[in-house]
Structure 1
Amino acid sequence: MKLELYPLLFEPIFKDRIWGGNKLKSLLNKNIPNETIGESWELSSVEGDISIVKNGFLQGKSLLDLLEKYPIEILGEKVHRQFGNQFPLLFKFLDAKEDLSIQLHPNDTLAKKRHNSFGKTEMWYVMQADEGAKLIVGFKEDSSPEDYLKHLNDKSLVSILNEIPVKKGDVFFLETGTVHAIGAGTVIAEIQQTSDITYRLYDFDRKDAQGKTRELHIDMALEAINYKKVQTQVAYSTLSNQSNDVVECPYFTTRVLPLEGKVKKHNNGDSFMVYMCTEGDFSIVYNQQEQSFTKGDTVLLPAIISDYQIVGQAMLLEITIS
């Protein structure tokens, strides 16, 4: 039975957002239900948003069902030792038609104490950016709680934050505590710890369809913010048919694989692999079987699949836990 596991696709979980648009449909061919979908959760074990298998004989099974039945076979020996039957990462595509709120995420210690949750270390890969698109990541210079609160109260918080113009292929690594906001006109692939804890600092005084402003978390954020200037943008190589290192941290390792033809891969069984396809089409060939995928697909490759080939013309993000 174990060898019947295969590369798994999941039904996207769509999130309607005040800042969302329709690019998840126009760029990634997602069957979104309306024109304000901001997020497609591709692979999630967040309570209330558990991913459901879309392909193969396990179609209709939840990720939790699979982890109960095949914990080591899917997660890998090392990941299972560390996390038990929990799936430790969350994968998303985001479409920011408008600016997101200025926000941050707490670290593991605070998140555990306050919310019984993981913290939220994350990374962004920019899949598309309109001309003039920007991201906010951290402070321009070292700040302090007093300085931050002064600018927040004056509605001049943006003036002390680091705005960075972005283009397709840019990568940002955001450790917990980093104040940030995704700017209008960007589509992003996001890899993060399994957590949905966000502290919202400022939302540009926007109101929703009912005329209400969204909740802010000013007091909770004070202890969670990193007030130091941080370097978040990541430089990386794009050598063809190689897994180029992008981000390595205690929570995940991400590489970029520009695929032109065929690449042989070996997994030692310590961890699962996830492939996010940001361009093109590819197939995974394993155990004398082949499955095909396309742009916008996020594929969970169980750890038990040790030897396989990736074939096609594509840009892939390859994520594992080292």
Structure 2
Amino acid sequence: MYPLKFKKHFVEKIWGGRGFEEALDMKLPTADNYGESWEVSSHKNGMSYVENGSLEGKSLQELVDQDGAALLGEEIYNRFKGKFPVLIKYLDVNDRLSVQVHPSDEYALRVEKEFGKSESWYIIEASEDARLIMGLKEGITKEEFLTKAKANDFTDMFNIVSVKRGDFINVNPGLVHASLEGSVVICETQQNSDTTYRIYDFDRKVNGVARELHLDKASDVINFNEKPEITTNDSREKIALEGAQKEILVRGEYFNIDKLMVEGVFRDEINENFKVYSILEGEGKILHSGKEYEIRKGDTYFIPAGLDVSVEGRVEILKSFL
């Protein structure tokens, strides 16, 4: 086992743009607008394939099937019954992301036959006017929601927040969310799921056809009292480590995330389970077993369970782990 880099899976979106080029130094495959780059995924809608080292060309699912306990960590492999538990993406929301909500495990496994979708957003870049919908206003009931939504009337329904670079939002299942104004580039860590219930799409059409809405399912899974969990660069505690500074972004059932600001040489703890490094800024190297793996912003590396790795350079990293 060694640090794995996967080929990016780009997804065109009606709300996407070209923000990956400037914010993350990515080379986009065509002149189209892209909304997502799937970085680490075993989902059928965007499978990851190794692009470095002796495992080049193998899919993440193949690796899990062949030696999942060693790759993921025995506890994680057993807990998720041999399925890869998370999905790491970058998002470029250049236009309005549809108003949507995600189901919990209980609902999604019963209705959609896949995991629910707990997710988190780290804001890499945001325009000055960036505003998001995060939750419903107090007092909105399921009956009122359905009545107004089916009439395409969303006045005074949503809680709206302004965001800036460095903000972190934990988006629990049941929290209605969307982008409303401006543009944002996001690093998203989520459960391994592609289930989204669309509530409102700002009356847009793709090839002359409005995208499907899912109002009844959405109303089943909305937590009408759910509030967003938002932290900022200023509000988070800074923890000094040798060669780095750490901020704890979230601890949860489905994923944990730390932000690491490395300056010099930082030897990371040896995790019993896998971890993923999303490189947000800077450049440097991952060091493992006498080998060096170059890293720069926009890169993502999967670190298999139990690997002893260090990071050298001046880099900002989101570390997602279980």
Please report the TM-score for the alignment, with normalisation by the length of structure 2.
0.93
Mapped partners of 2:5, 2:81: distance in 1? 22
Q: Which of 2, 10, 28 pairs up with 1:6?
A: 2
5 Å-filtered alignment, 1:195-214, equals 195-208=193-206, 210-214=207-211
CA RMSD of aligned residues (A): 1.5
Contact 2:23 2:124 in 1 (8 A): no
Match of 1:255 in 2: 258
Q: Does 1:98 align with 2:99?
A: no
Match of 1:281 among 270, 274, 283: 283
| Alignment of 1:233 onto 2:225 | no
Q: Are the structure 2 counterparts of residues 129 and 65 from structure 1 closer, same or farther at C-alpha, using a change threshold of 3 Å?
A: same
Q: 1:158 to 1:193 in 2, by over 3 A?
A: farther
CA distance in 1, matches of 2:227, 2:309: 39
What are the residue-to-residue correspondences of 1:1-322 with 2, within 5 Å? Answer: 5-32=1-28, 33-157=30-154, 159-183=156-180, 184-208=182-206, 210-234=207-231, 235-239=235-239, 241-269=244-272, 271-305=273-307, 307-321=308-322
The answer on whether the counterparts of 1:122 and 1:192 sit within 8 Å (CA) in structure 2 is yes
Which residue identity lines up with residue 289 of structure 1 in the other structure?
Answer: K
SS at structure 1 position matched to 2:16: strand
Return the offset for 1:239.
Answer: 4.3
Instruction: Name the aligned partner's letter for residue 202 of structure 1.
Output: Y
Aligned residue for 2:109, secondary structure, equals helix
User: What is the CA distance between 1:50 and its match in structure 2?
Assistant: 1.2
Runs of 4+ in 1 over 3 A off after TM superposition: 153-156
Aligned residues: 314
Letter of the 2:26 counterpart: K
8 Å Cα contact 2:107-2:116 kept in structure 1? yes
1:68-93 alpha-carbon deviations (Å, 9 max, x no partner):
22212210121112113211000000
Question: For the Cα contact (< 8 Å) 1:141–1:229, is it kept in 2?
Answer: no
Task: Tell me by how many angstroms 1:14 deviates.
Answer: 0.9
% identity of equivalent residues: 38
Separation in 2, partners of 1:156, 1:290: 56
In structure 2, distance between residues paired with 1:130 and 1:35: 21
Q: Take 1:204 and 1:266, find their aligned partners in 2: how far apart are those partners?
A: 46
- Post-superposition Cα deviations, 1:169-224, rounded to whole Å, max 9, x if no partner, equal 0000011011001344100000000000000000011111x111100001111111
Assess if the C-alpha contact under 8 Å between 1:238 and 1:256 holds in 2.
no
3-state secondary structure, aligned to 1:159 = coil
| Range with bigger deviation, 50-59 or 236-245 | 236-245
State the AA in 1 paired with 2:140: S
Q: Contact 2:174–2:226 (CA<8 Å) still a contact in 1?
A: no
Distance 1:93 1:158, change over 3 A: farther
In the alignment, structure 1 segments of 5+ residues that lack a partner are none
